[in-house]
A and B are shown apart, each in its own frame.
Chain A
Amino acid sequence: MAAQRRVGLFVTCLVDLFRPTVGFAAVKLLEDGGCVVEVPALQTCCGQPAYNSGDREDAKAIARQVIAAFAGFDYVVVPSGSCGGMIKTHYPALFADEPSMAEEAGALAARTFELISFLADVLQITQVEARYSGVVTYHDACSGLRELGVKAQPRRLLASIDGLELKEMATPEVCCGFGGTFCVKYPEISDKMVSDKVADIAATGADTLLCGDMGCLLNMAGKLTRLGKDVRARHVAEVLAGMTDRAPPLGAPVSPVRQGKP
């Protein structure tokens, strides 16, 4: 058997803060795929808030930190297309005028993958051991879709889950209106976009919304609960890892059973 792949998990700030279960789901999926997973302690954020606000210097400082923290791993895996896209496509661009850093950024970029595409494209996993009883609809988060080409991979893996039925929404590729700081800079426009998205989700009749990016999920889940829609929102990794009993759906009340557990 080939040597085990050493994977550094870039947790992402939103998973760290809001949804540790996604991090553990990623670890489980990677370990099931034969990887050794480590979580470098020196990671914080990928730097998108600075980069997308025009603050190139802070974005570079944070990128340098990430590049240093993840040196030496065979792969770096990110449970987010947005942060994954930042490392994979934007870090090299950030250092385009600094040849030595550009090389390091390029090397990191080449080893970095969004979680689901890593499972499918690198580990060549075609099915997962999980059960999920429900009708799900899948939102293609923009950066994963358009920067990293994540589209078929999650759908293929979801199709291998017992009890899960996928119903596509009319426009799964249209932005949900999150956009990082966009949603607070332009709350009304963001609200219009997420309202349209939620209507599209509801029209499928699905009971579960899945997506590979926490930012988009917080936005859509927050709108779904605000409108009282009976749709459970989860990161796709939770379902693929069979870890949906670990945490209630995003924004849903903690069930009494779960609360009672030690």
Chain B
Amino acid sequence: MQATSRAFKANAHRALGNPELQRAMGMMRTGFPERRAVAIARLPEFEALRDDGIAIKNHVLAHLDFYLETFEKNVIAQGGKVHWCRTAQEARETVLALCREHGARTVTKGKSMIGEEIAINEFLEANAITPVETDLGEYIVQIRHETPSHIIAPAVHLVKEQVAESFRAAHRDLPHDRALDEARVLCDEARSVLRRQFLAADVGITGANFLVAETGSSIIVTNEGNGDLTQTLPKAHIVLASLEKIVPTLEDATTLLRLLARSATGQEFSTYTTVSTGPRRAADPDGPAAYHVVLLDNGRSALLGGEFQDMLRCIRCAACLNHCPVYGAVGGHAYGWVYSGPMGAVLTPTLIGIEEAGQLPNASTFCGRCESVCPMRIPLPKMMRQWREREFAKKLSPKAQRWGLALWAYVAKRPTLYRAASAAASRVLGFMGGARGRFRSLPLASGWTDMRDMPAPEGKSFMTLWAERRKPAPRQAATP
């Protein structure tokens, strides 16, 4: 996927002027946080659970090589195979080779952000294999030729009227004048269309929420059950996962699952939690004949031991997106690449470079709501600041901004000069503001005054008034 993160501001401008997007984001801004708050209020040990989850992830990251090798050993013992891929390109080619090996023409897909990261759909299409998304949200964005705008709710940027329109355009064999104004009806229609695809698919690709080292299993959670059909009906199941998805034991996975659902959708548990361990055994009534795990690094191992390591604790719950006022204002597509919101602002520069993605860690007020809801307590604002530091060191930020900052810092480091400047500014702005008490426009401040007034200063600076108040004090009046 071609990144447009450099154009974040232009993307955001378009998003802010898009009425459907704004209507959709308005609903998500309240819905997700409310549901999460209710779920967490009902679990008194939530904070302790967070500590446990963080300890699990930190432990894994400290011993990642060991757990990955254990995982591979156990996958092989269960009859599956692990494919180690350093880059997105390696992962794409591995998936293609596996699809060809199984003679695939149609591939069903469960939701996978790694699939987005390696742009597997475009690659398969270019190689004459048809990928069909089976998660409802993913299916909707696929038929609209869009990308997911949210890591767990891919079509959250759309309102249902847009979905209805897309269904009419895509499902031409159905009567054009059918009623499609209820979410339930849309859901049923997608279900019946997808049913045929499930049965026709040669290979099923899913992501993984967790890879379990002790059993060699992969785990996915869904609310639609599409993942189960994707992975059990075709001849082969390919799991796309990045290497930090590993956890030591099933017990650890359940701890994280309890955090995941509550943080993500406010559910106590997702509707379907599916554990896959190897291919179909002789006595199994169903299941794929082959089980492959395509394990992607794509720069993640380089984060180990560095200042962005904590990002590898992320369990992709999207609580940070759901609570981010910037994400809520502009939606996910504005971020210009696969990951959006605060986790995207930290992760994207690690994957495509700060030169490409420098806007993202800047587009934050550091309000801290993301970190406060992150089940893994990832210090997202701190890491966005670290990106800004790298950007500043490389002189990547806009010149005007750096010069303005340098001028300000020069004055701020000289208290006497600073006091004179602030006293003068108070006086001048206070005078100019006059009886009106505010400015509708100010030179050099159009970024502020185009949108809102600038309240005028009272007149004299505090330090000036304080010095005046102190003058008649007896102790200081004893001058000759």
Q: Which of A1-30 contact B (CB under 8 A)?
A: 11, 13, 15-21, 23-24
Q: Is A188 an interface residue (CB 8 A)?
A: yes
The reply to whether the CB of B458 lies closer than 8 angstroms to some CB of chain A is yes
Tell yes or no: A259 within 8 A of B by CB: yes
B429, B434, B437 pick with most chain A CB within 10 angstroms: B437
A-contacting residues, B8-30, CB 8 Å? 9, 12-13, 16, 30
The proximity string for A residues 122-162 relative to B, scoring 1 for CB distances below 8 Å and 0 otherwise, is: 00000000000000000000110011000000000000000
Is B97 interfacial (CB 8 A cutoff)? no
Contact A187 B325 (CB under 8 A): no
A193 CB-CB contact with B under 8 Å: yes
- Complex partner residue of B437 from A142, A192, A248, CB under 8 angstroms: A248
Q: How far is the CA of A187 from the CA of B422 in the complex (A)?
A: 24
Sampled A-B contacts (11; CB under 8 Å): A11-B462, A17-B422, A20-B465, A143-B366, A146-B368, A171-B30, A173-B369, A186-B326, A192-B16, A225-B453, A251-B438
Complex contact B412–A174 (CB within 8 A): no
A50 within 8 A of B: yes
Contact in complex: B461, A20 (CB < 8 Å): yes
Q: Is B364 an interface residue (CB 8 A)?
A: yes
Question: How many Å from the CB of A62 to the closest CB on chain B?
Answer: 6
The stretch among B203-211, B235-243, B284-292, B388-396 that forms the contact with chain A is B388-396
Instruction: Given contact pairs A55-B389, A192-B329, enumerate 20 new A-B contacts (beta carbons under 8 Å).
Output: A11-B462, A17-B457, A18-B455, A20-B460, A44-B415, A54-B387, A61-B413, A142-B369, A143-B366, A175-B325, A180-B365, A182-B363, A183-B448, A185-B362, A186-B12, A187-B451, A223-B453, A225-B452, A226-B453, A251-B455
Instruction: Give chain B's interface secondary structure class.
Output: helix
A42 on interface, CB distance cutoff 8 Å: yes
A80 within 8 A of B: no
Interface size on A, residues (CB 8 A): 75
Picked from A16, A41, A69, A193, the residue with its CB within 8 Å of the CB of B329 is A193
**Residue from the set A20, A39, A259 with the largest chain B CB neighbour count within 10 Å:** A20
Q: Is the CB of B330 within 8 A of A189?
A: yes
Query: Does the CB pair A189–B16 fall under 8 Å?
Result: yes
Please report A residues at the B interface, Cβ cutoff 8 Å: 11, 13, 15-21, 23-24, 39, 41-45, 47, 49-56, 58, 61-62, 65, 69, 93, 142-143, 146-147, 171, 173-175, 177-194, 196, 218-219, 221-223, 225-226, 233, 247-248, 250-254, 259
Q: Known: A23-B466, A187-B447, A259-B435. Is A50-B409 also a contact (CB below 8 A)?
A: yes
Q: Are A146 and B458 in contact (CB under 8 A)?
A: no
What is the count of residue pairs linking A and B with beta-carbon distances less than 8 angstroms? 218
Q: How far is the CB of A32 from chain B (nearest CB, A)?
A: 17
* Contact residues in A for B6 (Cβ distance below 8 Å): none
* B382 proximity list for chain A (CB < 8 A): 93
**Contact among B388, B411, B438 for A222, CB-based, below 8 A:** B438
Cβ-defined contact, B462 with A15, below 8 A: yes
Is B367 on the interface with A (CB-CB < 8 A)?
Answer: yes
What chain A residues lie within 8 Å of B455 (beta carbons)?
A: 18, 218, 221-222, 225, 233, 250-251
A41: chain B residues within 8 A (beta carbon): 415, 419, 463
Bound-state CA distance A189–B328 (Å) is 10
- For the side of the interface on B, what is the size category? 35 or more
In contact, A178 and B365 (Cβ under 8 angstroms): yes
Beta-carbon nearest neighbor of B382 in chain A? A93
Known: A188-B13, A189-B12, A193-B329. A47 touches B412 (CB 8 A): yes
Given A43-B415, A146-B372, A189-B330, check contact A182 B364 (CB 8 Å): yes
Do the beta carbons of A23 and B462 come within 8 Å of each other?
yes
CB-based contact A253/B435 at 8 Å? yes
From residue B424, how far is it (CB to closest CB) to chain A in Å? Answer: 10
Cβ of B405 under 8 Å from chain A: yes
Q: Are the C-beta atoms of A247 and B458 separated by less than 8 Å? A: yes
Beta-carbon contact of B447 and A183 below 8 Å: yes
- Which one of A11, A52, A146, A226 lies within 8 Å of B385 (CB-CB)? A52
Give complex CA distance A188, B452 in Å: 11
- With A and B bound together, what is the CA distance between A188 and B22 in angstroms? 14
Cα(A69)–Cα(B371), bound, Å? 32
Whether B397 lies near A54 (C-beta < 8 A) is yes
- The reply on B84 being an interface residue by CB < 8 A is no
* A221-B455, A252-B437, A253-B437 known; A53-B412 Cβ under 8 A: no
- In the complex, per-residue mask of B326-338: 1 if CB is within 8 Å of any chain A CB, else 0: 1001100000000
Does B401 interact with chain A (Cβ within 8 Å)?
Answer: yes
Q: Is the Cβ of B447 less than 8 Å from the Cβ of A184?
A: yes
| Of A56, A93, A142, A189, the contact of B389 (CB 8 Å cutoff) | A56
B181 CB within 8 Å of chain A:
no
Chain A residues in 8 Å Cβ range of B364: 179, 182
B360 to A: closest C-beta gap in Å: 11
Given known contacts A23-B466, A53-B392, A186-B12, A18 and B415 CB-to-CB distance under 8 angstroms: no
